[in-house]
Structure 1
Amino acid sequence: MHTHKPYTATAAFLLIACCCVALLQACSGKEDPVTGLWKLPGEAISVEFSKEGDVTLTIDESTISGSFRRNKENVLLVDMGNGEQPVTLSDNGDELRLSDRRDDRDIFLRSETAEKVDRAESLFMAGYQAKNCDSSIVLYTQTATMLEGIPSESGHLARAYNNRGICEEKNGNTEAAMADYTKAIEIDPRLEIAYGNRAWLHDKLGNKEAATLDYRKAAELGYTPAKQWLEEQKLERAD
């Protein structure tokens, strides 16, 4: 039969020491992952979370102050004067929604990432407005490079590849164009214009079956030129 032995002085000392270490770790002031400055790309809207639990929302020149905390379930709660509201920080800590809705399209990014997105948008527009395809290809390539690895910008990234594909096709580089259209579709499977452009290129190259499949998908997604092509060919749409 096993019996419990009374604590020795040494054991008691070790227990107290361990408790002190645990207490020190609990009071170490480890920063919450949300701490820092966040910005909404393309807008003059930012929100900053301080180590002390303060929140500052800036819209143009106006600021609103509040506080934040985490509850027992580790839910991030923000109070800007109208009661606590849950906000959502992505698992990787790179995206912030000021609500608990996963479909909230207003996605704040770390300020440096948001600034990168804004620069990418400027490059994209410069590529769109460039007077020759060689310049556009360079600018769209720079845009894609800057947007890689930013999940919330997948739509813009796909359009950069799609537009570069258009320029590659105009320059006679059909293989590069096809690769770009396919890349755009892989990134954003609902980008109807990319299916339409790839279908057009397939058709031009004599790949009628592949063209039909892409035209049907583009039509399913609502792309009008694809619907017209299918009607002209007297083919039924997938939907």
Structure 2
Amino acid sequence: MEGEGVYVENNPQILANAHSEFGKRNFELAQELYTKFISACLHKRECAAGDLAAAYNSRGQIRYLRVDFTEAMEDYTEAIGVDPRFEIPFYNRGLIHYRLGFFEEAKRDFQQVLKINPDFEEAKVSLLQTLQDQQHRMTRGY
């Protein structure tokens, strides 16, 4: 396809621009840029795993903010598949599981975060809250 080389050559700049737009809260443009970056990475397979995982995670955050939990979880899961040592998508996916009342799945995600990074304070708090709410649900019988 004509112009494809330019697209791939500018791939690191696409990611930098996506992060910049995300920081400015221009989420629609940021999502488009993350999608372009991800597509180029998948097509050419020339991206660093950490960059691809970060793009999936950030696009997932945008989808989370739009309350599109299914697509956000898909992005977080993709990020985990690309870089299973990246704790942030585990945490983000755990938050969605928690919000949806899937406490067992949330617990697994938060525990995985803490295996990767034992000092992740928000994950400690979220895991504790998940365990308390899970116990409360069991006590009430639903």
Same-fold call, TM cutoff 0.5:
yes
Report which of the two has the higher share of strand.
Answer: 1
Cα distance, 1:190–1:113 mapped onto 2, change above 3 Å: farther
In the other structure, the counterpart of 1:157 is: 52
CA contact (8 A) 2:103 2:130 kept: no
More off after superposition, 175-184 vs 130-139: 130-139
The residue correspondences of 1:66-105 to structure 2 (distance < 5 A) are none
* Correspondence for 1:138 among 20, 32, 47: 32
Amino acid in the other structure paired with 2:13: R
Shift of 1:225: 1.2
Ranked by relative contact order (alpha carbons within 8 Å, sequence separation 6 or more), the top structure is: 2
Question: Under a length normalisation based on structure 1, what TM-score does the superposition of the two structures give?
Answer: 0.46
Whichever of the two has the greater Rg, that structure is: 1
The residue correspondences of 1:145-224 to structure 2 (distance < 5 A) are 145-148=39-42, 149-150=45-46, 153-222=48-117, 223-224=120-121
Query: Separation in 1 of the partners of 2:8 and 2:111?
Result: 36
In the other structure, the counterpart of 1:120 is: 14
CA contact (8 A) 2:7 2:40 kept: no
Query: Separation in 1 of the partners of 2:71 and 2:89?
Result: 14
Q: Deviations over 1:165-216 (max 9, x none)?
A: 1111111211111111111101111110000000000000110000000000
Q: Deviations over 1:20-47 (max 9, x none)?
A: xxxxxxxxxxxxxxxxxxxxxxxxxxxx
In the other structure, the counterpart of 1:60 is: none
Query: Separation in 2 of the partners of 1:114 and 1:203?
Result: 38
Amino acid in the other structure paired with 1:216: Q
Shift of 1:135: 2.1
Q: Deviations over 1:86-121 (max 9, x none)?
A: xxxxxxxxxxxxxxxxxxxxxxxxxx8984343233
Identity of aligned residues (%): 29
Amino acid in the other structure paired with 2:19: M
Query: Separation in 2 of the partners of 1:182 and 1:117?
Result: 22
Query: Separation in 2 of the partners of 1:158 and 1:206?
Result: 26
Amino acid in the other structure paired with 1:188: D
Q: Deviations over 1:208-233 (max 9, x none)?
A: 00000000001111133112223445
* Correspondence for 2:123 among 216, 219, 226: 226
Compute the RMSD of aligned alpha carbons. Answer: 2.3
Q: How many residues align?
A: 123
Query: Separation in 2 of the partners of 1:199 and 1:170?
Result: 15
Query: Separation in 1 of the partners of 2:77 and 2:64?
Result: 13
Query: Separation in 1 of the partners of 2:66 and 2:130?
Result: 28
Name stretches of at least 5 consecutive residues in structure 2 with no aligned partner: 1-5, 133-142
Report which of the two has the higher share of helix.
Answer: 2
Name stretches of at least 5 consecutive residues in structure 1 with no aligned partner: 1-111
Shift of 1:124: 2.9
Cα distance, 1:233–1:183 mapped onto 2, change above 3 Å: closer
